[in-house]
Chains A and B, each alone.
Chain A
Amino acid sequence: MSFRKKLWIGLILLALASPVGIILPDKFNAGDAWGEWNADKLKEMLGFVPRNLAKLSGLWHAPMPDYGFAENASPAIQYIGYITSGILGIVLAGSAIYFISKLLFKKEK
């Protein structure tokens, strides 16, 4: 098998293993990353939500928030959503780079 093929397989294996990234924090009772709390969590922590933060925080509604299909989904659905996001990440990142390179190198051909 070629070296590159091995690397692509490694990436797919990483995507399949990605639910470890939600299982471990769950097991060790670890929460959000520092400074990435949502408005509800901030309200709980501070007793208030900074005014402009509240306004800006709802600016964008991502199609797959938090790398999943739905909030409060069952663990199985969460893992499937996470793996799907990982595969989607490979496809999106890979093709974005492909198109950027096409644009960059077009003129020389």
Chain B
Amino acid sequence: MHIPDGYLSPQTFLPMYGVSATIWGIGLKKIKKQLPLKHIPYLSMAAAFSFLVMMFNVPIPGGTTGHAVGGGIIAILLGPWTAVVAVSTVLVIQALVFGDGGITALGTNCFNMAIVLPFVSYWTFKLLNGRATSGKRVYVSSFIAGWFGLTVASAFAGTELGLQPLIAKAADGAPLYAPYPLSVALPAMVGEHALVFAPVEGLITALLLGYFLKNEPETVFAINGGPK
């Protein structure tokens, strides 16, 4: 879901930079207020974790590849605003150092993977889990939360890509940026994520949450409102 340079028109990537920058500003203020100092090592680990998870490309045999992001579990463990900052930091490093995702597309990629994904996962989890602190309900709600967060993020990416042929065309009607229309881009992105990559995100979310609840239950933000 790392949109490269050239796939988005400036009419798309400039406003998306604006939206993401605004949310980064709010996020930094929020974590400055909410994040205890002793929690910073967890934030570093969360960013490193997201970086590594994205290296595990999952194949669709004979087709495309994709990967989980880890944004869902970070949001549940450390809070959605912390996830915004952690995953955005990773996306900047991936674009600058490893050429994964475009420089022009950075605002858009951050919006999809570092903003939409953690917030959708976080609120899905809160809604489904209620006040449960252990047992089946926690596993099921965290799996669905991770799955749904990545799926919704892929719908945003598919829409942004699919709108390009409408936004910018050459005089002869040829697309100037991402070439596939919405009717192709949206089902392709949502389909492969909903069926293959997002279940991996769901699994990671459920297993790690289980691990934290067993070992360090007081750190889980979505259940305890964060570490004391």
Complex CA distance for A29 and B168, rounded to whole angstroms: 34
| B-chain residues with CB within 8 Å of residue A88 when the two chains form the complex | 97
CB-nearest residue of chain B relative to A97? B44
Q: A52-B6, A65-B98, A104-B31 in contact; A24/B58 too (CB < 8 A)?
A: yes
Tell whether, in the assembled complex, residue A35 and residue B161 are in contact, meaning their CB atoms are under 8 Å apart: yes
Q: Known contacts A20-B56, A51-B174; can you find 15 more A-B pairs with CB under 8 A?
A: A4-B42, A21-B67, A24-B57, A30-B62, A34-B66, A35-B178, A53-B7, A53-B177, A58-B5, A62-B96, A65-B99, A89-B55, A89-B90, A94-B44, A96-B47
Is A93 touching B32 in the complex (CB atoms < 8 A)? no
Number of interface residues of B (CB under 8 A): 71
Which residues of chain A come closer than 8 Å to B210, judged between CB atoms?
none
Do B61 and A11 have beta carbons less than 8 Å apart? no
Contact, CB under 8 Å: B85 / A85: no
A67 is contacted by which of B4, B62, B98, B176 (Cβ under 8 Å)? B98
CB nearest neighbor in B for A68:
B98
Interface contacts (Cβ under 8 Å), in number, total 200
Chain A interface residue count, Cβ-Cβ cutoff 8 angstroms: 63
29 A-B contact pairs sorted by A residue (CB < 8 Å): A11-B49, A21-B56, A24-B58, A25-B65, A28-B59, A32-B65, A34-B66, A34-B189, A36-B3, A50-B174, A50-B176, A50-B178, A51-B174, A52-B6, A53-B176, A53-B179, A56-B177, A60-B102, A63-B97, A64-B98, A65-B98, A85-B98, A86-B51, A89-B48, A92-B93, A93-B90, A96-B92, A98-B44, A105-B32
